[in-house]
Structure 1
Amino acid sequence: MEIYLDANATTPVLAQAAQAALQAMADDFGNPSSVHSTGLKARALMDAVRARAKALLDTGAGQLLFTSGATEGIQTAVLSALNALRGRPGVDCLLYGATEHKAVPEALRHWNQLLGLGFEIKPIPVDGVGRHDLDFLRRHAARAGLVCTMAANNETGVISDLAGIEAALAGSPAFWLVDGVQALGKLPLRLARTRIDYAPFSGHKLYAPKGIGLLYVREGAPVTPLMAGGGQEGALRAGTENMSGIAALGAVLAALDDGRTFRSHAELAQMRARLLAALTEALPGLVLNAPLAGTLPTTLNFAVPGLSSRLLQDLFDAGGVRVSGGSACSAAKAAPSFVLEAMGLPEWQAAGAVRLSIGPATEAALVDEACARIRACGEALRQHSPGDGPWCDDPNALDLSGADAVDCRTVIGAQLEDFLRRQPDLVIVDVREPYEHALPLPALLAAREMQAVPMSCLGTAAPQWLASGRPLLFFCRSGGRSRQAAQTLAGLGHEQSWTLAGGLALLPDPAGHG
């Protein structure tokens, strides 16, 4: 089975949430704005979910709007606050936590520019464990129009001192936005008992589908609709409501109340401790990027001296363990973590960070298997150290540095069996590094003639391939390196160079689990 340890990025949909969504699509499909019985049923469902959410979050007289997710909620909150700040005397800056999700500072910049306000936008520094600098906040609070902080950080799991932030804002005219995405279902939230003006939430971080979220607005806080139209959500968020998403979210909220579906804080902490023990055994020298005290019990963020974040992610992925390097929104940029940089951690830690995160519904059996695979990954790394790859200093090797990377042929997973049948002379080339070989290959590939040639050794093997003229199919974990290899060989004149699109990641697993 796939071991998914990236719950801070997204979660699978809870079975009862999926069932509720299907029922809403099949039976309760009415438009909640319609006045006939089918529409009234949909309206009743939506009102019940909203009432449950308001009770769970203790919103008091505050409003709770259904949105498409946290990004929309953040945009609406920032637009609403900044629109209300037009011409307000004594306000000249907007503040946000230096470790906020990028959606927050980007929204501040966007709406500040679009509305022509010209406010200074300043990050609130954090200390070495990711806590906001409250002295800085006190110094600037009097002239701030909007302050944006997280309830808990998505990369490190660091829990913000919301009470301390609220005390630092005493007497400030600022509106206060708190990103509650990682807190939902993990921390108690009593919003009406605070001075928080806006709090966005996203369903897909807690076992609901993508595309559904919530925005809390404190009673009396200004709201400027991001979308105008048919008057839905009290004319504050136009567009026909996502009824299947709302129904699914309602099922998740009900599960939070049942006391059976989700693990307790103590149970999650025990699971995390077991995972950390396995990691420490597998990866000697491992360093935590945020101390366990003061972080969500669902999150581990670590680095290993001498090992890059991408190497570790590839290693775990080859072992069927899904982890990340930090925020999913920044994963493709391969840059050091700005969160860890803001915390003042050394460059190697920020560049080598790996995040492992479980969810409140994680089962003990999955943690058992995760620990076993983590230890197996550590053993694979010890047997094949990244610096101990095959010796490829062949005098007949081709210098590929000047080779043109031209278009190559592509095979997708669904076509693989037919492609292999039509290519009896095919040579399959595995361009993964040796330490990535922890995962068994699909039988379709394993049964054919295969060569293991890491990218660093491509020049050594290329003369033989060019001389034979036999068709080549390159594969790797995700399809990136195999495409590069096939393009290089095609550029050298090898006309039958193919790449497996998407690599092993898009093939059914060897055990047949899809």
Structure 2
Amino acid sequence: MVFWGPENRQVVRNRIFERTGMEDRPVYLDYNATTPVDPEVVDAMMPWFRERFGNPSSGHFFGWEAQEQVEAARTEMAVLIGAKADEIVFTGSATEANNLAILGSTRAMRGEKRSLVTSVVEHPSVLQPFLRRKEEGWRLILLPVDSFGRVDLREAESIIGKDTALVSVMLANNETGTIQPVREIAGIAHSCGALFHVDAAQAIGKIPVDVEALGADLLTLAGHKFYAPKGIGVLYVREGTSLSPLMSGAGHERGLRPGTENVPYIAALGTAARLVRENLREESARIQRLRERLHGTLSAAIDGLRLNGPSNDRLPNTLNLSFPHVKGWELLAAVPGIAASTGSACHWGIHKASPVLLAMQRDETRALGAVRLSLGRFTDEAEVDFAASALISTWHRLSS
């Protein structure tokens, strides 16, 4: 069953938010931080908490049916991203998957290549493992970005060389939605004999993600970014790519991630992947229309409102705007009935200019005025119009 038609969407929203009107709870415009779990995904999980409770490694009926579910979900994930089922490794989060990709691949390397390359706008779960390797003696180079937040391919060509062991560049930025030229960067990396990792956690469910088209050797996904629960992630490992596990234990997940598989969450992930595959094109177009409606209304009412990121090569749901004469966090604290953020949820409560926006050559005043509005599956026109009106009236009050 697909819940995304106009009538069913309201039913589903009520199931998720338990609300009867917009005044009951804030309008949720923070889908880049996390998504609600789709009710169909919840339904897929529940049997594995109750009657189907077996350990997938057990050699009896209960174990066999659990193992069948794990492999069915692995196949769904593989189909979604154009991979083989045995190239899918389940993890506890995208952060774990990023750490396994970066630390595990470099631990497995025995050659003389000692240079690592990533971009200046990566998520902390990518930057921090690279910084750990730097402390251990590896050379780390950060790729700069232009004013739209895109990696400069000429810089990439000059930086990535024969001594480069691993390159990691995100597919889409979590704050601005900027889509990186990943395919081209992969080509540069591979021409120098380097592995290429893509953090696609923010892109999955919003734009097509295909490991062959991207040229990824390693690719990270997060369940809670596409309507599955928190606490489940995926690392795609291209066949023939060497990784050393970060933990020791039994041989689960090809020996790369020891620990009994989280069957309920893996079942949820498989269902979430199927829903994305069946509805991605239509849903992305719908959300983009709503995003442009919101942007247009705000721009018409607020002089000096500035978009951070490109107009086109951007996630269809993401709108990062700098409001003049106010600080973004002050605006959100004062606006009634909206749940949004100033940037990455990992930095919530830290009222500093976004490093991503500063890397895009935004001055501190503009960076401090930024607000990220991210839409999703259960956003509708009424919510967008309510949010626009609330932001406009609150901005006028604060800036006058």
Q: Same fold (TM over 0.5)?
A: yes
Preserved CA contact (<8 Å) 1:263 1:362: no
Summarize the alignment of residues 324-403 of structure 1 with structure 2, pairs less than 5 Å apart. 324-359=341-376, 361-364=377-380, 367-382=381-396, 384-385=397-398
Listed as ranges, the matches of 1:35-54 within 5 Å are 35-54=59-78
Q: For residue 203 of structure 1, what is the aligned residue in structure 2?
A: 223
Against the structure 1 CA distance between its residues 133 and 380, is the aligned structure 2 distance closer, same or farther, given a 3 Å change threshold?
closer
User: Any residues of structure 2 matched to 1:427-438 within 5 Å, and which?
Assistant: none
Which amino acid in structure 1 is aligned with residue 350 of structure 2?
K
Give the Cα–Cα distance (whole angstroms) in 1 for the partners of residues 86 and 268 of structure 2: 23
Distance in 1 separating the partners of 2:309 and 2:152: 16
Worse-matched range after superposition: 190-199 or 227-236 = 190-199
For residue 325 of structure 1, report the CA deviation from its aligned partner: 0.5
Aligned partner of 1:107 among 113, 126, 129: 129
Q: Deviations over 1:110-164 (max 9, x none)?
A: 2443xx3x11211101111111121121122222111110111100000111122
Counterpart Cα distance in 2 of 1:262 and 1:162: 21
Residue 187 of structure 2 corresponds to which residue in structure 1?
167
Which residue number corresponds to residue 8 of structure 2?
A: none
Q: Which residue of 1 aligns with 2:313?
A: 294
- Name the SS for the 1:333 alignment partner: coil
Give the secondary-structure state (helix, strand or coil) at the position aligned to 2:191.
coil
Q: List runs of 5+ in structure 1 lacking aligned partners.
A: 388-514
What is the letter of the counterpart of residue 301 of structure 1? N
Q: Give 5+ residue unaligned stretches, structure 2.
A: 1-21
- The one-letter amino acid paired with 1:92 is R
Correspondence 1:227 to 2:247: yes
Aligned pairs for 1:452-491 (under 5 A) are none
2:100 maps to a residue whose letter is T
Query: Does the residue aligned with 1:340 lie in a helix, a strand or coil?
Result: helix
Report how far residue 332 of structure 1 moved. 2.1
Q: Do residues 134 (structure 1) and 188 (structure 2) align?
A: no
Structure 1 residue 146 corresponds to structure 2 residue 166: yes
Choose from 86, 89, 93 the match for 2:115. 93
Tell me, yes or no, if the aligned pair for 2:116 and 2:164 is still in contact at 8 Å. yes
Look up the equivalent residue of 1:255 and give its one-letter code. Answer: L
Looking at structure 2, the residues matched to 250 and 223 of structure 1 have their Cα atoms a distance apart, in angstroms, of 24
Provide the C-alpha distance between the structure 1 equivalents of 2:228 and 2:251, rounded to a whole number of angstroms: 25
Residue equivalent to 1:393: none
Report the Cα distance in structure 1 between the residues aligned to 2:391 and 2:218, rounded to whole angstroms. 43
1:180-219 paired onto structure 2 within 5 Å: 180-219=200-239
Any idea what SS the aligned residue of 1:43 has? helix
Structure 1 residues 363, 178: CA separation in 2 closer, same or farther (over 3 Å shift)? same
User: 1:351-409 CA distances to partner (integer Å, 9 max, x unpaired)?
Assistant: 221100012x1342xx3233224313422443x3356xxxxxxxxxxxxxxxxxxxxxx
CA shift, 1:257, in A, is: 3.2
**CA–CA distance in structure 1, aligned partners of residues 393 and 203 of structure 2:** 35
- Distance, in Å, in 2 between the alignment partners of 1:127 and 1:49 is 39
What is the number of equivalent residue pairs in this alignment?
375
Q: In the aligned structure 1, how far is the partner of 2:106 from the partner of 2:387?
A: 49
Contact 2:189 2:195 in 1 (8 A): no
1: CA distance, partners of 2:348 / 2:181: 27
8 Å Cα contact 1:281-1:375 kept in structure 2:
no
Write out per-residue CA displacement over residues 289-329 of structure 1, whole angstroms, 9 at most, x where no aligned residue. Answer: 1132110111000111211011111123xx11111010000
Contact 2:80 2:274 in 1 (8 A): no
| TM norm structure 1 | 0.70
Shift of 1:168: 2.4
The root-mean-square deviation of aligned C-alpha atoms, in Å, is: 1.8
- Give the residue type in structure 2 aligned to 1:19: D
CA 334–29 in structure 1, closer or farther in 2 if over 3 Å, else same: same
In the alignment, residue 108 of structure 1 is paired with which amino acid?
F
Structure 2 match to 1:420? none
Work out which of the residue numbers 266, 274, 279 in structure 2 matches 1:254: 274
Q: Report the Cα offset of residue 193 of structure 1.
A: 4.8
Q: Distance in 2 between matches of 1:62 and 1:35?
A: 21
Q: Which 10-residue stretch deviates more, 296-305 or 265-274?
A: 265-274
Which residue identity is paired with 1:273? E
Amino acid at match of 2:34: T
Equivalents in 2 of 1:327, 1:153: separation in Å?
10
**Counterpart pick for 1:14 among 13, 30, 38:** 38
Instruction: Identify which of 260, 271, 284 aligns with 1:265.
Output: 284
Q: Is the CA contact 2:104–2:244 (under 8 Å) kept in the aligned structure 1?
A: yes
Provide closer, same or farther for how the CA distance between residues 185 and 385 of structure 1 changes in structure 2, counting only shifts above 3 A: closer
- SS where residue 237 of structure 1 aligns? coil
> Which of 71, 83, 87 is matched with 2:95 structurally?
71
C-alpha distance in 2, partners of 1:244/1:111?
34
How far apart in 2 are the matches of 1:279 and 1:232? 50
SS of 1:150 mapped into structure 2 = coil
Contact 1:315 1:377 in 2 (8 A): no
Distance 1:248 1:155, change over 3 A: same
Shift of 1:285: 2.0
Residues 239 and 44 of structure 1, relative CA distance in 2, 3 Å threshold: same
